Amino acid sequence: MLDVCQTPRHYPRLRGANIKTFDPDKPLWTCPKCGRRFISRNLWHACGDYSVEGFLHGKGPRARELFQGFEELIAACGPYEVAPAKTRVAFMGRVRFAGVQTVSERGMTVAFALPRPVPHPRIRKVEEIIPGWFGHTMRVTSPEELDDELLGWLRESYRQMGMQGRLRKI
């Protein structure tokens, strides 16, 4: 059963003067309904019983190979949690920093956040997701594309976004 917590997103807290009082070492809050963890109480999310296996249900061996290869890159960044949702699987340190949006036998669409736009032919789309933070979307069609270049972007995303390194500089 899908239950949507209705509290609005707290992005404004990351934009204004309150950012100087934000503590990136504060323990994460856990939703009592679904057990998902967040940086503050009652952030908007869809509660549900989601899993990686559910996300990959019905997918073929190539799709599973791509997903596994991406997760291996995530693991090379540091300790992480898997945060599956109905339509995607996100990866988080303290917060979500990367994810798999779609996966099929033809390829996989992945995304990650960086504090700067990366103009690169491999990246299909860059959009500012919150002021000063850019979501990058790319398509991966073969295991060979899960390479050191992508790992570098993921490591930066993990440090700056996932582990909230951007807040530690203040």
- Tens place of pLDDT for every residue, the chain, 170 residues? 323 333 333 333 333 334 444 556 677 667 767 666 666 565 555 667 789 999 999 999 999 999 999 999 999 999 999 989 889 999 999 888 999 999 999 999 999 999 999 999 999 999 998 898 999 999 999 999 999 999 999 999 999 998 888 766 54
Give the model's pLDDT for residue 27.
72
CA–CA gap between residue 138 and residue 143 (Å, rounded): 14
Contact 15, 50 (CB under 8 A): no
Select from 107, 36, 10, 127 the least CA-distant residue to 67.
Answer: 107
pLDDT at 47: 67
> CA–CA distance from 166 to each of 54, 96, 148, 169 (Å)?
33, 14, 23, 6
- Lookup result for tokens 């963890």: 37
Q: What's the confidence (pLDDT) of residue 45?
A: 58
Assess contact for 42 and 30: CB atoms under 8 A.
no
Beta bridge partners of 140: 108
Residue 126's SS3 state is strand
**Angle made by CA atoms 49, 50, 52, in degrees to the nearest 5:** 145
Q: What is the pLDDT of residue 167?
A: 67
Strand duo 107-114 + 123-130: pairing: unpaired
Q: Is 75 helix (H, G, I), strand (E, B) or coil?
A: helix
Q: Which two tokens stand for residue 23?
A: 């503590």
Q: Residue 97 has what pLDDT?
A: 95
At 35 the pLDDT is: 67
